[in-house]
Amino acid sequence: MEVTRRDFVKLLAVAGGVGLSDPRRALAAMTPERLLDFESYGNVTLLHMTDSHATLLPVYFREPDTLLGIGAEEIGKPPFLTSQAFLDHYGVRRGSAEAYAMTHLDFAELGKRFGRMGGYAHIATLVKKVRAERPGKTLLLDGGDTLQGSATSLWTNAEDMVQAINQLGVEVLCPHWEFTFGINRVKEIFGDKDKSGSFTGTFVAQNVMDTSWGPPGEPVFKPYTIRELGGARIGILGQAFPYTPISHPHRFVPDLSFGIRDEQAQVWVDELRKEQKVDAVVLLSHNGVAVDLKMAQRVRGIDVILGGHTHDGIPQPIKVGNTLVINSGCHGKFLSRIDLDVRKGRVAGFRFKLIPVLSDYIPADPGMAALIEKVRAPYVQRLGEKLAVSDTLLYRRGNFNGTFDEVILDALMRHYDAQVAFSPGFRWGISLLPGQDITLEDVYTHTALTYPNTWAREMTGTEIKTIMEDVADNLFNRDPYYRQGGDMVRVGGVTYTIDPLGKMGGRIRDLRIGGKLMEADKRYKAAGWASMAEVDGPPVFDLVAAHLRNVKRVRLDTTSRVKVQGA
């Protein structure tokens, strides 16, 4: 089924020609009804989405209230902007649809006004419209973290998402959380450098090597693909998340080596330009935005970086030399469109828009809606179980506290009678407005891992602080190449002060457990989940669901237990 003529007329009627030569003016002028305003430009259109985390349906997702830059990033420029500073920089009016989509300000109030965002059926409508407008000139790219993040993706071994991305017509994809389904499943879906899988597009990852026979290893996947668009040859180089064997259990990717490999990336870029005679080079990246910015400085000849991993929605490309760096948010909230004027081996100009996918204002594509209904049908009743009601705005994203993580921490501490609990600083996980029912499906959007088991053991105060310092260094290391993404580990039962600008091992102080100063040699009972080791405690989603059934209403003290200094 296709979007109806009536739907297309409605969409086309609002495409009234706001030029994006002045992004600040364009953003300030936007209203929900003018979401699709875009004056076509040049001969190539790239559509980019990333980090959907298996979010098939529209959802609420609150952007971070705290996003700290370190070192050269301290100057308060994109991408390390939040709140009013973000609005001021981009000329966005507070209370507008764009302010709702792009910041945490007034989120509960604006969520009720503007509704949920994303959803593959609504994204499909946008993609079809652009393809119809720009036949032979449009390419849809997916930055990964696509297969993981929902109950249905977990229960179907990602088959629901494979069907969705195939129907959407994703043409090029690079990976990260995809590997948590195991390398064998990844190859079933995406193939390798020699053969295809069930994915109908092309899977690219230049930095994944098989080291079974020792370093440096052999490439596992195709490093790049070349597409003809609008009379131009476009080379797309893939960059998988560099730290996959560290950020997830190594058993999922045995004998595989990742890494940034910017020197090898330079070799491929040179090959694309000199031997393959491409007119433009695009890096489809899952590095994270800070790593993308550094890589843009180090690898010559990349015209556009379409990035993901850190979930940053950036309304305007960041220019590094001649490279445009773009990141497109997460959970299907945004679809990036960049039109390029490509001629004689170079990009002569561009026009860009980060399109907020406000699903109340964009009709659902009937074909995609039917597919989603079909793949979800066996699970709908189970997913819809109402566990509790929240009186508190629940969210995860932010450098420090996340209120849904507080729910997980409370569940861990109560189940294990623990003094301390750890919850990873994942950046995926939807938001719930005050008064909203918490369903079993909502729990899975925060916990749907292939390694979900919980654990409990005694730890010394020194061990607890060491874990926290290690995560803080990963988050706030001055060199982006030493960061692995994510936010600060959430710690239940604990308050502390952190200096992000401090030295490794010395960022955290005044660490208190149960209100008392931590004692280095004292042993505390700790609990957690998402362990790198194999543990056998009950899965976290079962534990959290049981906790919510018991408490029935969630009322949280939202006072931060983290004091930030020096930033």
Asked if 260 and 242 touch (Cβ cutoff 8 Å), the reply is yes
Q: Which residues pair with 45 in a beta bridge?
A: 138, 339
For 78-107, how does the pLDDT look when each residue is reduced to its tens digit (9 = 90+)?
Answer: 999 999 999 999 999 999 999 999 999 999
Confidence band (pLDDT; 50, 70, 90) for 33?
low
Neighbours of 109 (CB within 10 A): 12
3-state SS class at 35: coil
- The pLDDT score that the predictor gives to residue 11 is 42
Residues near 108 by Cβ (< 8 Å), separated by ≥ 6? 393, 433, 434
Structure token digits, residue 92: 């966005």
Determine the angle formed by the axes of helices 262-274 and 289-298, rounding to 10 degrees: 60
- Angle, CA 410 vertex, CA 408 and CA 412 arms, to 5°: 70
- What length is written for the chain? 567
72 falls in which pLDDT band (50, 70, 90)? Answer: confident
pLDDT digits (tens, 9 = 90+) for 381-425: 999 999 999 999 999 998 998 999 999 999 999 999 999 999 999
- pLDDT category, 77, cuts 50, 70, 90? confident
With residue 346 as reference, give the H or E element that holds it: strand 346-356
Q: What is the mean pLDDT of the chain?
A: 93
Q: What is the mean pLDDT of residues 150-160?
A: 98
Distances (CA, A) of 504 to 387, 459, 495: 42, 21, 19
pLDDT at position 9 is 41
For the chain, the domains span 40-58+130-374, 384-564
Which tokens in the block code for residue 32? 């929900």
The answer to whether 141 and 82 are in contact (CB under 8 A) is: no
Structural contact between residues 380 and 160, judged by C-beta atoms closer than 8 angstroms: no
Residue 307 has which token pair? 């990035």
In angstroms, the CA 347 to CA 343 distance is: 6
pLDDT score of 494 more than 70: yes
pLDDT tens digit string along 232-270? 999 999 999 999 999 999 999 999 999 999 999 999 999
> What average pLDDT does range 525-550 have in this prediction?
97
Contact (Cβ atoms closer than 8 angstroms) between residue 372 and residue 164: yes
* 219 Cβ contact partners less than 8 Å away, ≥ 6 residues apart: 193, 206, 208, 209, 210
- CATH number belonging to the domain at 40-58+130-374, selected among 3.60.21.10, 3.40.30.10, 3.40.720.10, 3.40.50.740: 3.60.21.10
**DSSP H or E run through 11:** helix 5-13
Q: Would you say the pTM of this structure is higher than 0.85?
A: yes
Q: Say what the pLDDT of residue 87 is.
A: 96
The reply to whether CATH 2.40.110.10 applies to domain 384-564 is no
Please provide the DSSP assignment of 395-438 as one string. ---SSS--HHHHHHHHHHHHHHT-SEEEE---S---BB-TT-EE
